[in-house]
Structures are given as structure tokens and as C-alpha cells.
Chain A
């Protein structure tokens, strides 16, 4: 991990989150959505969701999702040893959801998150907001709100580190299969 370089420090990430909050606000108004339910995907998505939740002054408590039980690569990687319970504070039926993640890459994490949400109930709509939208999509999943769209080589990875301080780092792919690593958070 020695070849990592910082793309953005905490201050830069925070101003990006400010911009995202503004875009979310506009989109909610356009769609005439009030009292949405915000859900962060563990781990980076939860850090961002906490900031956005505060900034937008949302009334409903923040939900968190751990998609470990919905991953499509369970047979390749086994059980994530650091799984946490998902926590949705209220039923999702007929609710407008804002789903937050740090990096949108292959789209597989979001596929898993959507499947998990639908096991809780049937939401009215889902808006996807990600801090980073990078190339390399393997599924037809697109974000509604993005903070940053960096040009990256296929072998480069971009990661949100945190929670205190937050930062965006870029590095080239290392062997990330070892146990205890945060598994495929750029997926």
C-alpha cells in the first residue's frame, strides 16, 4: 500500500459532500419527495451518509446496510469475518430512499444493497448517491448523484479512508485477497 497517494484530504472531501447535499436537495424538490429515508452502505457509505444526513437535516434516523450476506462472491471469498448487522430504523415499505455509497465501480455492491433493501420491504423509490463514480461497470447501475468522476486506469483503485480524518486515496491494485481485508469495497 506504499504506492498510495492522497487525491483529496478531509477538507476537500467535505466540500464535495456539501455539493452532493445541494444536488440531493434539488433532486428531492424536483421529485416532490419529503421525509426521505437515508441509508448508508458500510463502511465508507455510512461515514458519508452521517455527514449528508446532518447537512440535509433529515428527520428520519439514518439506516445502515452491511451487504456481506448478499455478496455474489461468497463462494470465492467465504464469510466476511467482520460483518455487522444491518440496521434500518423503520419499515421501508412505500418510503423514498436515498442510498449512499463511497465508490461506485463494478455496481455489484449496489446490486447486493438493492436486493437486501427489498428483503425488508417494497420502497416507493431509491435514489443512488456516491462520492466517486469510476469506470469499470459490470452491471447496468447508474448513480443519480455523484461527487467526483475521476479518470482512472483499470488497475488503479480509489478508496475512501476514515472516518477521522476522511480522505480519498489512489493506488494501484495490490493483492487484496488476504483475510481480514475490507473485502472489495470498490466493487
Chain B
């Protein structure tokens, strides 16, 4: 998969054509995304929170699955780049009328949309759209099934770099539902690509994929052992529906075994940061005192998410522009 992911996402000069998964992307391009995001961080603090980079471009948010925060930050990012934004809540419109994914795509292309930002419950949906989109149209994956959520992973990497400086030498623990988490999968790929020293996953056996170790991680089933001496703790959201199945006994028991409390946080490095992709289930994944505490960087993650998405959107639109010129030339 890595090779085909690489060729779909990068052009011959290693520029970003689409952003679908971290898989296949090396340290160089990930670092370029982080550096470009750094340039965009100041824009949100200015009088006019806009740069003219993508003026006249049309970005369509294709959300087949609801997500207020991700859609909002993508929308804000595109608007801060001066692009025009279409928000399409597909589950409520075309799909229910029997229109296929490709029909929807081609209809939007006929309206000269320059970019699709895709959120879908099926793994591989964004890839499918990227493979079928017109030349010159870029696709960004905003979360597909259990597969990938690359912009979330990159804003997490950005948050880590902002607080810790370097990736080399860091120990990072990811705690929670690894099995169903596209966020965790993307984070693990990004952390390993950027060269952290140790990635740990901490979870009950029922919430770990059977091949967890092949992802390049150290597996822990004990929370205290798992977070000991780490520099970064990433808590994952526990989907409520997992509770109704047989995977977990109860929220209360999950919290008592895997919840992040002040006592457990004290086992990590004294400068450790606490992250969470949101929204938090307080008292399930973590104690409110930790979520709102001095080591929590959860709200900064949200702010950085806009800069990361501005970077990825502008990089992809920039590369697709060049591609169109090559055709014209």
C-alpha cells in the first residue's frame, strides 16, 4: 500500500497532490507540512484574518458523516485562504435520493470545484474520489472509516513539536480505543515517520488490533506502566456505542482502569503534555482536573488544526495548479 499511496499523493517533484493518508509519506514532506503551518499560525491573530492565496478557488466540504468540529475548522481554513466554500451534507441530500458517489462527484466537478474535502464512514472513500477526480482537482481526507485521519494526526504532530521542539528522543503513549481509531492509526504512522524514540499504545485487549505490534509500537495493557516516564500522552475518544457492545464492561470500569487521573499523570515525565482529539467524555477518558489542568494542550490542538488545514489546502491547490499548467503548456 505504501508505494501506491505515495504515488497517488505526491508528484514527481515530491509535492503534495492529494492528502489522503500518512502511509507512504516520509519525514521530508511531513516536516514541510509542519513548517508551512508555522507560517499560517499568525494569520488568525491579525486584524484581517485572511490571506489571498486561494482567491477564486472553490473548496467543497463533502461530509457523508457528521462532524461539526472538523468541518468547521476545514471551512475556516479554506475561508482564511480566501477560497469559496461549499458545505455539502451528503447523507441528507443526494445519497438519500439514490445518487451514487461518482454522480455526486461529477456534478460538483461540472460546477468547477477545485478541491474536495471528504469525510466518509467507509475506509478508502477519499482514495476512491482522488482516483476518479478530474486532473487539477485535489482531495483531502477528513476521516474515512477506521482507516485514516491525516490532518488530525498532523495537528497533533504540530502540537507536539511546538511544545517539545524535536521528535527524536520523545516517548509517546496513545491510550484508548486503538482498534476503531483512524486517528490512532494516522498518529502512529506520523510519529514513526518523524522519528520519535518510542510509541506506546495502552488499551484493553478488546480494543487493540490483533496485529498491533506490526504497526511499530510497544503494547501495554496496564495504564500505570504505559504512561510511566512518557513525554506525551494522547487520549483517544471512546465512542459511546462501544459501551453497548461486548467490548467493554462499563464506562465506570473503563475509567478506573484506563482513565487519565492526576495520580496517573504524575507517573509521566513532569513536563509531559496531555492531548485529546475531542470531544472529551469527561470522567470516561480523563478526569476534568486533567482536561483543564496545566499540562493539557487540548484547546491549542483545535487552534493549530486551522493552521495545519490551511497548509495542506494551499499546498495541494498549489500543486494541482502546476499540474494544470503542465497540461496547458
Contact = CB atoms under 8 A, between A and B. Distances in A.
Given A78-B319, A86-B42, A69 B15 contact: no
B262 interface: no
Interface in A35-85: 66, 68-70, 74-79, 81-85
Nearest to A74: B53
B244 interface: no
Interface string B44-57: 00111011110000
Contacts of A87: 42
Contacts of B318: 74, 77-79
Contacts of B46: 119-120
B315 A85 contact: no
A85 B39 contact: yes
B35 interface: yes
B39 A68 contact: yes
A70 B322 contact: no
A179 interface: yes
B321 A78 contact: yes
Contact of B35 (A70, A82, A93): A82
A121 interface: yes
A34 interface: no
Interface residues of B, number: 25
Contacts of A81: 32, 35-36
Given A78-B15, A78-B318, A179-B13, A119 B35 contact: no
B47 A121 contact: yes
Q: Name which of A69, A116, A120 has the most chain B CB atoms within 10 A of its CB.
A: A69
19 contacts: A70-B53, A75-B321, A76-B321, A78-B15, A78-B315, A78-B318, A79-B314, A79-B315, A79-B319, A81-B32, A82-B35, A84-B38, A84-B39, A85-B38, A85-B39, A85-B41, A115-B52, A179-B13, A179-B15
Given A74-B53, A81-B36, 20 more contacts: A68-B39, A69-B39, A70-B52, A70-B53, A75-B321, A75-B325, A76-B321, A76-B325, A77-B318, A78-B319, A79-B314, A81-B32, A83-B36, A83-B38, A83-B39, A84-B39, A85-B40, A91-B47, A115-B52, A119-B50
